[in-house]
A and B are shown apart, each in its own frame.
Chain A
Amino acid sequence: DAGVIQSPRHEVTEMGQEVTLRCKPISGHNSLFWYRQTMMRGLELLIYFNNNVPIDDSGMPEDRFSAKMPNASFSTLKIQPSEPRDSAVYFCASESAYTGELFFGEGSRPTVL
């Protein structure tokens, strides 16, 4: 298996534009997590899905953030409109239903100017 795949790895966008981050979890994993990592706040859980259903989105910072998981092999995290303070590393992770082990993607690094 190729592991958790995230795209894009890097993106530069203008303030006010939409940022769309994508994630393909490991096949067979039934839970998917989105995290944001910053120097100031460390790793923050934004939202997680179980069997494609959002379970806890209390970490989503504002209404500008939304996440979807239309099927077991794909999830998106959108920021609209984007702001410079949204510049961070966003990680997607999927969890093995058998062991509970969490596997991370390489992260997406949007820069909002």
Chain B
Amino acid sequence: KQEVTQIPAALSVPEGENLVLNCSFTDSAIYNLQWFRQDPGKGLTSLLLIQSSQREQTSGRLNASLDKSSGRSTLYIAASQPGDSATYLCAVDDNDMRFGAGTRLTVKP
């Protein structure tokens, strides 16, 4: 059964800092990997989707990479802002969609 792990569990940074969130998975036979953002009391919003044949995807200040062979993905956030404060989750699609526990990010003004 696929296991998805995210580290760190929580991260606090000053505004303007670049940061990296990590996601690892145990079974590399995946179709895609997706990063989500969740604000308190809200649903999940899709940020980036990386197909298994891709190495990275970019959207604005966000860049996600995928290394299937090592079972790892990173989400890079450039020039962080207080509005980026949220929980970030990664999900791996191997027919099921399995989620990590998330990284709770706080960006301090």
The contact sample of 10 A-B pairs, CB cut-off 8 A, is: A48-B96, A55-B95, A100-B49, A100-B51, A102-B46, A102-B93, A102-B97, A104-B46, A105-B43, A107-B42
In addition to A42-B102, A102-B34, 19 A-B residue pairs with Cβ atoms within 8 Å of each other are A42-B99, A42-B100, A42-B101, A45-B98, A48-B96, A56-B95, A56-B96, A93-B44, A93-B97, A100-B31, A100-B34, A100-B51, A101-B34, A102-B36, A102-B93, A104-B36, A104-B43, A104-B45, A107-B42
**Cα-based distance from A103 to B100 in the complex (angstroms):** 17
| B-side interface residues, number (CB < 8 Å) | 22
In contact, A106 and B95 (Cβ under 8 angstroms): no
Give the A-B pair count, Cβ closer than 8 A. Answer: 49
- Given A42-B102, A43-B89, is A101 in contact with B97 using a C-beta cutoff of 8 Å? no
| A-side interface residues, number (CB < 8 Å) | 20
Q: Which residue of B lies closest to A56 (CB)?
A: B96
In contact, B95 and A95 (Cβ under 8 angstroms): no
Q: Which A-B residue pairs are the 3 nearest by beta carbons?
A: A43-B99, A104-B44, A104-B43
